[in-house]
Structure 1
């Protein structure tokens, strides 16, 4: 049998090597690859942090970068809001926490990405700015 692997890395560690070996062996099958991306994969694609201080331009750049990261990481629609909101900092994070306080973070994370983008546009791009951009 080839797949057993009983004489592998675990045996050569000497004293104290067992704890590390168990962690690696205990990982099991990577189910996430079949169902979309993990948060680690999303972060490896280098999404921009969003602070909410650069107005419409900053928001547009953040949206564009996130859309690109969603494509590259094959992020599922159901994970997009949760992962995107993890990149918020400062004022933007305070805004999101306030926005989700009433509905609960689960409900916030389950809101469609398109809807959250609308909320963020209303909050971080005042109407007057949007009209100038069009």
Structure 2
């Protein structure tokens, strides 16, 4: 019994020693991390768990700078990029203006210094919303926005590839008065507008599918474009010279949406569309 008791006592002492050593090591590691953060100028608030960042830590993610531009798209791209960086880096809302202004340079910096002084003389609280309004008023004139909205409403694919048309569509879409607010609130309208602007031979295949999700609609348009190009190349290699066949190389029934589990819907829509197309031979190019 005495040997057993001594053995148990020794094991307990060993466990206590290990526990104490672990606690000391953990404490030392915490002190080392805190010291490293202090040396880097991050401070107590610079943490990876959603704690607000300091300016030094924010700058290390390399947010874009803005020197002032007559191009409204460049101005808007900068504003959205900086706003995204502020949000993802957990910068406090009341520090948004300070951190964003730090990224202004040249003419833009000079403009904001004067504008900020004027606002403060008016005893106005310079919030992020006020900064946004003031910035857009300076670098994004209403007349420019209206001109871009008109360009968007008249946009057609024409000779552009689907990829280029989509890029132009997305660039101009932001200027539409309809495409404001939550994306899901106008996605259906956006799909219809995009579809109407597609090249006729692509639009004829896409239209019966009635896709209401924009990303899916773009993917289908690209697939159809690739299929038509492939069929056109095959026809040319076989010695075909007529251009009248363009737009008649429909993908095999069910091939397009079979990938997404909508095989039946597409085949039915394609049959209906072809039947309607035969009944209306007067359909002119450009109606889409």
Q: Same fold (TM over 0.5)?
A: yes
Where does the alignment leave 5 or more consecutive residues of structure 2 unmatched? 1-19, 150-288
Structure 1 pair 26/129, CA: closer, same or farther in 2 (3 Å)? Answer: closer
* Higher gyration radius (CA): 2
Q: Which has the higher contact order (CA 8 A, sep 6+)?
A: 1
**1:125 and 2:125 aligned:** no
Q: Distance in 2 between matches of 1:118 and 1:55?
A: 17
Q: Distance in 1 between matches of 2:137 and 2:146?
A: 13
| Conserved? CA contact 2:64–2:78, under 8 Å | yes
RMSD: 3.0
**Equivalent residues, number:** 115
Task: Report deviation, 1:124.
Answer: 1.1
Further displaced range: 33-42 or 89-98? 33-42
Normalised to the residue count of structure 2, the TM-score between the two structures is 0.35
Structure 1 pair 117/103, CA: closer, same or farther in 2 (3 Å)? Answer: closer
2:61 to 45, 69, 84: 45
2:82 to 66, 74, 90: 66
| Conserved? CA contact 1:59–1:124, under 8 Å | yes
Normalised to the residue count of structure 1, the TM-score between the two structures is 0.70
Equivalent position of 1:88 in the other structure: 104
Equivalent position of 2:45 in the other structure: 31
**Runs of 4+ that moved beyond 6 A:** none
Matching of residues 102-113 of structure 1 within 5 Å: 102-104=118-120, 111-113=126-128
| Conserved? CA contact 2:65–2:103, under 8 Å | yes
Q: Distance in 1 between matches of 2:119 and 2:46?
A: 28
Equivalent position of 2:129 in the other structure: 114
